[in-house]
Structure 1
Amino acid sequence: MKNTTHILLRRISTARRPLPRATTRNLLTTPSRRATKQPGDDPNFVSILDGPPRLVRARNKHGPGILLLALIPITAFALGTWQVQRLRQKTDLIAKLEDRLIRPPLPLPPHVDPSALEDFDYRRVVASGYFRHDQEMLIGPRIRDGQDGFLVITPLERQDASTVLVNRGWISKKHRDQRSRPESLSRGLVTVEGLLRKPWKKNMFTPQNRPEKGQFYFPDVLQMAALSGSQPIWIESTTEPEFMRMMEQESRGIPIGRPPEVSLRNNHAQYIFTWYSLCLATTVMLYMVIKKPPSGAARRIHPSREF
């Protein structure tokens, strides 16, 4: 029994003996898995999140449209400047023609040089002769005070002189037939006072005359002179614009002459205003397009471009 107790005590002492300490593996210090040094370990490091933000605006990339928009004000300014020059030229021309109107009537020479008509345009002249009503030509339609009618062109045969064409004036459409206006067919010697005019120019919208059918749409002076055996000299009969007198002439079928005034249109001031206004408007538009910020392109970012 004594031996049995001794063996039991030895086993208990052996059970209380401390176990050997196991070797621990330091995972953080293992060379293969050790983390690299982080920027946060540097005491002088400042995060990009700590820097002040700045506003960055993306630039517009303008295409060909901006070039076209830039050409509009340049072109409008050039055209406006050109109209200023045209206004000056037209004003000088009207002043020169009005100066001719105030001069006393000039007796028409027996033979007129057509090449000199440029220097005598709107010059008041007096000519005497006999109307050739059998060679009368009507140009129309022509509107006057809302009424349809014609211009009466009659050759004036002068004694010991050349025959010239006279634009006697306007008649109503209802007096187209000569038999409806006998008072307009003077048979004796007549004296015509009017304006010497250079030949007219046909525009692109006017149809061609058809003399074989007696249809004239514009005064082709050379053509009419050849048909009537006249010189290509064009005289426009004038009359004072008296309302009662013109009403009486219209009712009797007597041609109503034109007023003695310069009939050149001078709209260049309106063109100047139009072109310069367009130049100003498109310049403002161009400035607004260039300076306008791009939609949604402005944002706040931090100093780092890699952010």
Structure 2
Amino acid sequence: MAEAPNPEPSVLIVDDDLGVRNVIARMLTINHFRITDADNAEKALELVKSNPFDLIICDIHMPGMSGLEFLEELKKIDPGIASIIITSNDNVDVAVKALKAGALGFIPKPFSGPELIETIKSALSSAQLMRETMSLKVFFPLLENASIALLNALEAKDHDSQGHSQRVANYSRIVAETPSLELTKEQIRNIYLGGLFHDIGKIGVPDKILKKAGNLTSEEYTEMSHHPEIGARILGRVEGLEDSSLIILQHHERLDGSGYPYGLKGDQITLGARIVGIADAFDDMTSKRVYADGLPKEDAIEILISGKGRLFDPVLVDIFLALI
């Protein structure tokens, strides 16, 4: 059984800049967080060993141990702790590396109080779900049985998703097996699993949003857009699924940067995520949902074609359409 949430979450701020630490501390104190700070990563690790923290906020660039190195060490002490990183506004590649290293979110400088609080709330929510999932001890040798259990849990929660994940996985595998892409068996497997689990993060989305018949409000859309992050965190802790979890994280990103959760562009989006994104979009459009009837296959094909080079990888769209 999960522990009851602390009414005043405890946050450790790690940044060599005293001014930044003070600004963040003021923002969080107003919102009823308990604050501890450290001016370097080494000191922060010692604090984590002796104190329970709900969240770590760390700068990516610090003297001595960097933020990325800190996150790697943090996982050894407490792999379920929530963490977010602070980075410059134009350094998306570093932010993606931080997410792979264990961060649950990032916030670019300069940031506002509401942006910071929203990122923190999302990270805490994801961490809670991840702890609950980790308690099930889902390890890679049990993946086949675990996948059935996880997908059944999602389909029980979201009836619209029944069969969707398997279809997306099958579409994605067929595209990945195209000889011209020259992918290895391991890469094809990772893409298949990324497709199979691409929506597993919806387990952490409230039913009232998943089952809403009308249009989502901006707040509801924002909450829904966190599901790739939640899903990536669930699968990313399973040894051997790190590449699949990155596909899950990025499958709603689009070539022109209009996707989510991080607005990645072009080659910043991994090949597997570009494949799964096309398969997911096609099956979404052609499947009946609580909020919409499915489109005819021909209409969905026209939408994919119109999105070539803007939303979807044009080479992969051509491969997908040739195969279906």
Q: TM-score, normalised by structure 1?
A: 0.20
Higher relative contact order at CA 8 Å, sep ≥6: structure 1 or structure 2? 1
Instruction: Look at both structures and tell me which one has the larger radius of gyration over its CA atoms.
Output: 1
- Specify which structure has the higher proportion of helix: 2
Normalising by structure 2, what TM-score? 0.20
